[in-house]
Chain A
Amino acid sequence: MTLIRFDKVNKWFGKLHVLRDINLQIREGEVVVVIGPSGSGKSTLLRCINRLEAISEGQLTVDGFRLDDPKTNINLLRQEIGMVFQHFNLYPHKTVLENITLAPIKVRKIAKEEAEKTATFFLEKVGIPEKAQAYPSQLSGGQQQRVAIARGLAMKPKIMLFDEPTSALDPEMINEVLDVMKALAKEGMTMVVVTHEMGFAREVADRVIFMDNGMIVEEGTPEHFFTNPREERAKLFLSKILTGGRASKR
């Protein structure tokens, strides 16, 4: 079943044409990794899926909701989509537990006790149940990002979006976050991941999408993409990023 469908989607920021004729379908349970140079539009593409950015033209359907229709109740759709940000965006005035239970209690109207049970379950899943009462500022970057993932999962979403989830982390903390994401992918979560982690893409992605200059330049399986890309721009990008060092080893 197709969960996300971009149909000739265009977006402009003022005069800047950031998404050009995007056609893309993502099925339930699929893990799609979006890569490309900075400014290529990959984060914008991701942020359109829960309408953090509105599209300018075309059709975008997510879980049956038409995002190009201004009458769509976006808050209903957003409950079904978890999002993990580059800079975590945890709520600094709330404990880890409160961070995770806030939306389930206030948006899904789940009882506090049950929400806390669920939160504890997901905190165990991301490996830091002992931090439930800590404040975000007391955690390392890797721990904060794992809390952010638990926060997204606690809403029991159908889709998880990841916007460069490891880009703001110290190198030694990247793996702890990627491991959580890998486990999630294996459980069948539908995931759209913008990342520079080529190892992750190679190991977990069902499909890799390469964007440049607002367009999807190439897409395919990781094997195809990493061993035999057709497009010159994809080859050039890969040669740059893979000789960069750490990404290739993972």
Chain B
Amino acid sequence: MGNWHDVLSYSGKYLSGLGITLEVSLYALLLSLAIGVVIAIFRVTSSKVLNGFGAAYVEFFQNTPLIIQVFFFYYGSPAMGLNISGLACGTLGLAVYTGAYMGEVFRAGIQAVPKGQMEAARSSGMNYLQAMGYVILPQAVKIILPPLTNQMVNMVKNSAILSTIAVTDLMYQTYLISSDTFIVFEVFIFAALLYLTITVPLSTFANLLERRLQRSS
């Protein structure tokens, strides 16, 4: 029990790390959702150029390690003359990576809506974006929600990689506490519990929302 007592005495550090992890996750989530929608629309339009760009984006970012993408932004931005904080670089890397997965989730959801829906909407005079916004996406959301939650949870977990570029997130603080106390097991178990305080409510909320959406149709 002594170890646990030591671990809990660091709760201030843990909480500050948790705060950063939450912050990074939230920004990266918003950004990756936006990237995902754009990439998905690129992949389902009739333009060959946009199709190609969307496909290349997904292939590149899904098939290279997240840590390389994060390093790219972190070490690459000064080389490009940009002065961005590690936090911003990490958020960007995480969003760009997760955006590729979000894009695929959205694409699958959009393509699961029957073709006649788009035809009905377009034949009534709506332009492409109106048809997407009023008819296709609201239906796609129900299909998308479960895999989207998975991606969100993955993203929160993946954010731990940002500790390698000195973002003082939960993982970073956990390392520090561990080297401070020479306790490994309890320190990391506690960090895992804190990650669960983000991810479990996230998937519970998504489940509730999913059930509500199913009822409305």
A interface, CB within 8 angstroms of B: 50, 52, 75-76, 78-79, 81-83, 85, 87, 89-93, 102-103, 106-108, 135, 137, 151-152, 155
Contact = CB atoms under 8 A, between A and B. Distances in A.
A83 B120 contact: yes
B109 to A, nearest CB: 13
Contacts of A137: 217
B126 A106 contact: yes
Nearest to B127: A75
Nearest to B133: A106
A52 B122 contact: yes
A92 B122 contact: no
Nearest to A148: B120
Given A89-B116, A102-B134, 20 more contacts: A52-B119, A52-B123, A81-B123, A83-B119, A83-B124, A85-B120, A89-B114, A89-B117, A91-B139, A92-B139, A92-B217, A93-B216, A93-B217, A102-B124, A103-B124, A103-B125, A103-B126, A106-B130, A107-B124, A155-B124
A197 B138 CA distance: 36
Given A85-B116, A107-B130, A78 B122 contact: yes
Interface in B82-131: 114, 116-117, 119-127, 130
A223 B7 CA distance: 93
Interface in B180-214: none
A75 B126 CA distance: 6
Nearest to A108: B125
Contacts of B125: 75-76, 78-79, 103, 107-108, 155
Contact of B116 (A87, A93, A102): A87
Interface residues of B, number: 19
Main SS of chain B's interface residues? helix
Interface centre among A82, A93, A108 (most CB of B within 10 A): A93
Nearest to A50: B123
A93 B139 contact: yes
B26 interface: no
Contacts of B124: 78-79, 82-83, 102-103, 107, 151-152, 155
Nearest to B139: A93
Contacts of B135: 91, 102
A76 B124 CA distance: 10
21 contacts: A50-B123, A52-B119, A52-B123, A76-B125, A79-B125, A81-B123, A85-B120, A90-B120, A91-B117, A91-B120, A91-B121, A91-B135, A106-B134, A107-B124, A107-B125, A107-B126, A107-B130, A108-B125, A135-B217, A155-B124, A155-B125
Nearest to B136: A91
B119 A89 contact: yes
A27 B106 CA distance: 44
B123 A83 contact: yes
Contacts of B114: 87, 89
B211 to A, nearest CB: 15
Contacts of B139: 91-93
B210 to A, nearest CB: 14
A78 B217 contact: no
Contacts of B130: 106-107
A155 B121 CA distance: 12
Nearest to A85: B116
A80 B152 CA distance: 44
Contacts of A75: 125-127
B66 to A, nearest CB: 35
Contacts of B134: 102, 106
A116 B123 CA distance: 20
A87 B116 CA distance: 8
A184 B121 CA distance: 22
A93 B138 contact: yes
B125 to A, nearest CB: 4
Contacts of B120: 83, 85, 89-91
